[in-house]
Amino acid sequence: MLHQRCNRRHFLQNAALFSTSLVTSLAYARLTRASVQTVKNEAVDALVIGSGFGGAVAALRLGEAGIDTVVLERGRRWLITPEQDTFATFDKPDGRSTWLSQTTYYGTPIDVYTGVLEGLAEEDIIIYCGAGVGGGSLVYNAVTYQPARELFERVFSDSIDYEELDEVYYPRVRSILNPAPIPPDILATPYYDRTRLFLEQATTAGFPNRLYDIAVDWNIVREEIDGTKRPSAIIGNHWFGINSGAKNSLDRNYLAKAESTGFVEILPLHLATTITEVPGHGYQVLCRQINETGETVVEKSFTCRYLFLAAGSMGTSKLLVKAKATGTLPKLNDYVGKYWGTNGDIFSVLSNLPPVSGKGGPAAAVLEHFDNPLGPVVLEDILDPFGADGTTQLLGLAIPQPKGTFGYDAATDSVRLTWPGDPEIVSAIKLTYSIFNQKNPDIDITISDTSNALTAHPLGGAVLGKVCDEYGQVIGYPGLYVVDGALIPGSTACTNPSLTIAALAERCMDRITSDIS
């Protein structure tokens, strides 16, 4: 029998709009310890940390199983307003754009606020992560891209049955996200001339290329084009969120469905800081509730029977590495914090192009160079919001070696990632570009990141078969599960990770809910 829900969170009803998530810098923790309220422990059946692709899947399936569930999300909710002004824009950035920072990622000064996009400066690498109810789905390019079997099996070997994902779990995720390729009438508009040119050049170079599925409501994009919705997607304002509501982000599907079960409550602006085993009872999680400028207003603890880690590769890995180092989860094995990678992200700029000016987004097309002798590569057409006419930006994806490691620093009570880089994937992507350029000789290509030191697709740190079993349960800790990108050893096989993260989470949750219901 499930534990009964405790009387809880009544005090949150008045504080909900005032609260937000973690203070990442002590410079913004301006309240004194004496002014921070401490709330007694609260018991719940299941606790989910994070509301991105893994956490959203977990929340929905737990709710459908009738399991009382609380989701802790460090960021705030971002509801599309009738005025269509929910998010910051590139031309008028403000604190909504960036997580607790004095500048945007491109250096514009802003007020410190719990915005949607965080830039983490780790050891030799910068990582971008989403923050808010819906996690990375608020800021991603909405690419819903299934890996090819032969490449998937390079990454996962025999641990995961690709056919099962292909027949059951990838379709299940797509049925909720509702992705589709850009329709011909929209592709034909001036807003997407950049995408059309990329496809033409890829064909000229002899590479397979195509449109892929995007989790966007194309009817709303049509409304942007005809002027009845605020221009957002068609002018490339998607990394800070799409004000027209065109993006099918998780808060509008998986998480909305989870809350509608009546068994799931999402607590925005709550940052989990510590995990401890409570023998015979499950797990205790300490967290901080903060306001929208990063000040801690309440410190809380939750005890749960079942704990689901879905704070993204960075958040989940750091929680586990800290727990092992400080002894709150002493049975964690030595694989924790290892096998991390960048998904092969390499950014490049193409210039000296014909006078294309379209800023339409999100990304819509891909070139696939799977038979590259140095390793498989794809190039994706993505938007540079500041690119001049005659330029465009591409993102290269490859299969890196998962050589990143997390380490705990006792002096600062913090965890940092070290990434040695992967020159092999840089060489593979350079080869693809050289072939591309031979057949399109007038183009100038600048590879922006030859050190592989920038990624928006962090993966690994608590991988399947090492830290977790093949269904996400942490080895040695019944009731403790990982259901996000931390499960994946550094790559989703030359694709954007969101679809595979969600499909693996669906697979895990099928097994987990059958075991605990």
Contact (CB, 8 A) for 193 and 357: yes
Tell me how crowded residue 513 is: count the other CB atoms within 10 A of its CB: 18
| Domain assignment present for 458 | yes
pLDDT tens by residue, 137-195: 999 999 999 999 999 999 998 889 999 999 999 999 999 999 999 999 999 999 999 99
Q: What per-residue confidence (pLDDT) applies to 15? A: 23
| Domain assignment present for 3 | no
Residue type, 140: Y
Q: What per-residue confidence (pLDDT) applies to 228? A: 97
**Of 449 and 242, more confident:** 242
Q: What per-residue confidence (pLDDT) applies to 355? A: 83
Average pLDDT, the chain: 91
| Domain assignment present for 118 | yes
Q: Is the pLDDT of residue 491 over 50?
A: yes
| Domain assignment present for 4 | no
User: Which of 423-427, 445-449, 484-488 has the least mean pLDDT?
Assistant: 445-449
Strands 480-482 and 296-309: parallel
Q: Is the pLDDT of residue 23 over 70?
A: no
- Residue range 377-398: mean pLDDT, rounded: 90
Distance CA 123, CA 322 (A): 17
Strands 296-309 and 42-49: parallel
Distance CA 93, CA 51 (A): 25
pLDDT band at 39, cuts 50/70/90? confident
Secondary structure E strands in 34-94 = 37-38, 42-49, 69-72
Q: What per-residue confidence (pLDDT) applies to 330? A: 97
Q: What per-residue confidence (pLDDT) applies to 16? A: 25
> Across-strand partners of 351?
444
Q: What per-residue confidence (pLDDT) applies to 35? A: 60
User: Where residue 79 sits, what CATH number does that domain have?
Assistant: 3.50.50.60
Q: What are phi and psi of 225, to 5 degrees?
A: -65, -40
User: Which of 320-329, 377-386, 489-498 has the least mean pLDDT?
Assistant: 377-386
| Domain assignment present for 197 | yes
Contact (CB, 8 A) for 463 and 488: yes
SS3 128: strand
Helix count and strand count (H, E) for the chain: 12, 22
CA-angle at 249, arms to 191 and 239, nearest 5°? 50
Alpha-carbon Rg for the chain, nearest whole angstrom, is: 22
The 8-class DSSP code of residue 178 comes to: -
pLDDT band at 209, cuts 50/70/90? very high
User: Which of 388-392, 398-402, 462-466 has the least mean pLDDT?
Assistant: 388-392
**Of 1 and 388, more confident:** 388
- High-pLDDT (> 90) share of the chain, %: 84
pLDDT tens by residue, 86-110: 999 999 999 999 999 999 998 999 9
φ/ψ region of 247 (left if φ > 0, alpha if ψ in -120 to 50, else beta) reads: beta
The residues annotated as belonging to the active site are 380, 457
pLDDT band at 310, cuts 50/70/90? very high
| Domain assignment present for 362 | yes
Domain of residue 252, residue span: 12-516
Contact (CB, 8 A) for 419 and 313: no
- High-pLDDT (> 70) share of the chain, %: 93
Distance CA 281, CA 303 (A): 8
User: Looking at the chain, how many residues does it have?
Assistant: 517
Closest CA to 141 of 393, 516, 517: 393
| Domain assignment present for 2 | no
| Domain assignment present for 7 | no
Q: Is the pLDDT of residue 22 over 60?
A: no
Domains in the chain, number: 1
Contact (CB, 8 A) for 217 and 246: yes
